[in-house]
């Protein structure tokens, strides 16, 4: 499966000024019974967006009419911590979020973003705060991945990104297909060597 390439992105940004937003907040566990990965947007931030009776909680930042469907989320430190559930990214992408700006992320969540065409930008706390203020003021953002810049009103900020991950996002590359196409021989060579040095990993195969 190839991904939708990511080049530039423009639009409003939602601001969730909170640290340690874990994947249980982003995608509550009881919805993990759903085995499809499409159409999960209903459950994104579910218990923050909705009261138990299903009515919306107007105070929750993502429920503000101005940022409904916003492609960008500005938030605090350690975003996406906890469970590795990729549903967190799938559900956010399904409500239209394609770029997250935060001070830090959990490692698993960060990797999951790239594998789903979502750009997680890491910036120091003061810059995140400035962008958060801009987002709250309703200023439109413009993200330019090739140039690695964020424009928001009078703010113009550069961001860092791993060059290989940048290329993968720009081209919508699928990591598995890339590995199979470019590393097949190396994988076979590794297995041949490992079978010699650690034969027990091959001879005591798990049985049915």
Q: Where do contacts with another protein occur on this chain (CB under 8 A)? A: 1, 18-20, 22, 24-25, 28-30, 32-37, 47, 52, 76-78, 81-86, 89, 104, 106-108, 111-112, 115-116, 162-164, 175-177, 179-180, 183, 186-187, 190-191, 194, 197-201, 203-208
Identify the H or E element spanning 13. Answer: strand 13-16
**Shortest spacing between CB 165 and another protein, in angstroms:** 10
Edge-first strand order for the sheet with 149-152 is 8-11, 141-144, 149-152, 155-158
**Shortest spacing between CB 124 and another protein, in angstroms:** 13
By beta-carbon proximity to another protein, the closer residue of 65 and 205 is 205
By beta-carbon proximity to another protein, the closer residue of 42 and 156 is 42
Q: Which residues are registered as beta bridge partners of 204? A: none
Angle at 112 between CA 108 and CA 117, to 5 degrees: 155
CB 48, CB 73: distance < 8 Å: no
Structure tokens that stand for 90 in this block: 């799938």
By beta-carbon proximity to another protein, the closer residue of 55 and 204 is 204
**Shortest spacing between CB 15 and another protein, in angstroms:** 15
Tokens 């040095």 belong to residue: 197
């Amino acid at each position: 499966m190839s991904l939708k390439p990511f080049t530039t992105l423009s639009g409003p940004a939602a601001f969730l000024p909170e640290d340690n937003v874990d994947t249980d907040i982003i995608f509550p566990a009881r919805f993990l019974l759903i085995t499809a990965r499409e159409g999960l947007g209903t459950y994104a931030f579910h218990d923050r967006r909705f009261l138990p009776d299903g009515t919306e909680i107007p105070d929750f930042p993502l429920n503000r009419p101005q940022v409904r469907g916003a492609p960008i989320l500005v938030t605090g430190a350690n975003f996406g911590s906890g469970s590795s559930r990729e549903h967190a990214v799938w559900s956010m992408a399904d409500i239209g979020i394609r770029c997250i700006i935060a001070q830090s992320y959990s490692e698993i969540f960060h990797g999951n973003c790239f594998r789903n065409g979502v750009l997680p930008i890491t910036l120091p706390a003061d810059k995140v705060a400035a962008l958060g203020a801009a987002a709250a003021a309703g200023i439109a953002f413009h993200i330019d991945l090739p140039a690695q810049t964020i424009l928001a009103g009078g703010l113009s900020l550069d961001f860092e990104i791993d060059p290989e991950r940048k290329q993968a996002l720009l081209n919508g590359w699928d990591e598995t297909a890339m590995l199979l196409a470019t590393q097949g021989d190396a994988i076979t060579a590794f297995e041949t060597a490992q079978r010699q040095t650690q034969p027990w990993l091959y001879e005591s195969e798990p049985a049915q």
